[in-house]
Amino acid sequence: MCHKKPLVPAMGNLSMFPPEIIFNILDEISRSSPRLTHENFHAINQLMKTNKTLEQYIKFGWMGSNALNSFKQRVDSVQWYPNIDNANTALTLKGVNPDCIIPIEGPRDLGPDLITGIILDDCTDCFEWFSQVLPPIHMSCCNEGGWSFLSLALHAKSEKLLDRFFISGFPYEPKDFITGSGNAMGRGPSILGLAASSGDHQSFAKLFRKLKQILNGNGFQRALRDKLTGNERAAIRSVAPQYLQKMLYEAGLATMHPTLRYSPYYSGKRTLMY
C-alpha cells in the first residue's frame, strides 16, 4: 500500500539555499541505493510539493540534467515494456531462461526497480508521474522481469492502482491476457489465478465477468477450470460474497447453490469447488 509515514525528512525551507546545495542534497537522496528506488523517487516527488520555488529548481534544473548517472538518466534507464508480446520478444532476445525469471518482487539482491516498487506500494502520486510515458492501457505493460502491471498490483493488493488499471481497459486480446500467465515468459500463475489467490473478490469478479462476456458460453467453464488450481479456487471461495458464489455456481465451479450455503438449514460444511 502507499506509504503510511512521510518518506521526506524535515529539511526546512530548502528553497532558501543556492541551487547547487539543493542539487547536492537531491543527488544524495537519488544515489543512496544501487539503483533508483520508489522510496528515493517518492521522497523527491514529495519535496517538489512543499514549495513552488523548490519545484521549479528541481523540475527544470536538477531533473533536466543529462550528466552521467543523473536522475534523468536513472529514470530513463528503468526497463519496462508496453505489452506482454514486446516483453516476451525482448527477454527472449536477451537469452532469459523461462525457468529462471526474475521474482515478482524483483531480484533478491536488489529488490524491486522503480516502476515495480511504485505498483507494489500502491502509490498513485508516483504512478501519475510515470504514466505520462506509458500507453493508454496500463494493465498489460510489463516490468523488467516481464511481470504485467496488473499481476504486480494483484500480488500486492494495490487497491487504488487496480481501480486505475481496470478503468484504463483491457488489452486487444483480453481472453489470452486473463487466462495467460502473469509473466511474459509464460511461467507463473495466470492473471485470473493471481486474483483468486490474492483473495481480491472484486478484481476476480471483474476478470470473471470479462472472460464470460468474451467467451459467451463457448468454453467458459473449461477455461476457468483449466486456469484455476484447487488452492486458487479455495482462496477465492473463502472470501467470496454471495453474488460471487452465485456466479461460481452458475459457471459450474461450486457444488452448492449459494442460497443453500447461506440457509439456516445448511449443515455448515464449506462449499466445494471442483
Which amino acid, 210?
K
> pLDDT digit of tens for each residue in the chain (274 aa)?
444 444 444 444 555 666 666 677 777 776 767 788 899 889 888 877 777 777 776 776 666 666 555 677 778 888 999 999 999 999 999 999 999 999 999 898 888 999 999 999 999 999 998 888 899 999 999 999 999 999 999 999 999 999 999 999 999 989 999 999 999 999 889 999 999 988 888 999 999 999 999 998 778 888 888 888 888 878 877 778 888 888 888 877 766 555 545 433 333 333 333 3
Q: Are residues 169 and 106 in the same domain?
A: yes
Instruction: Specify if 181 maps to a domain.
Output: yes
- HSE-CB of 227 using CA atoms within 13 angstroms: 26
pLDDT given at position 17: 60
Which amino acid, 132?
Q
Distances (CA, A) of 55 to 7, 23, 25, 61, 100: 17, 12, 14, 9, 42
How many Cβ atoms are within 10 Å of 251's Cβ, its own excluded?
17
Cα–Cα distance, 77 to 144 (Å, whole number): 11
Q: Pick from 56, 76, 96: which residue ends a domain?
A: 76
Q: Are residues 98 and 129 in the same domain?
A: yes
Q: Pick from 140, 157, 188: which residue ends a domain?
A: 188
Q: Are residues 23 and 62 in the same domain?
A: yes
The whole domain housing 159 covers 79-188
Report how many domains make up the chain: 2
Q: Are residues 88 and 71 in the same domain?
A: no
pLDDT given at position 62: 67
Q: Are residues 66 and 139 in the same domain?
A: no
Cα–Cα distance, 170 to 180 (Å, whole number): 13
Instruction: Specify if 136 maps to a domain.
Output: yes
Q: Pick from 188, 212, 240: which residue ends a domain?
A: 188
Which triple of cell numbers denotes residue 59? 523540475
Q: Are residues 127 and 180 in the same domain?
A: yes
Cα–Cα distance, 151 to 148 (Å, whole number): 5
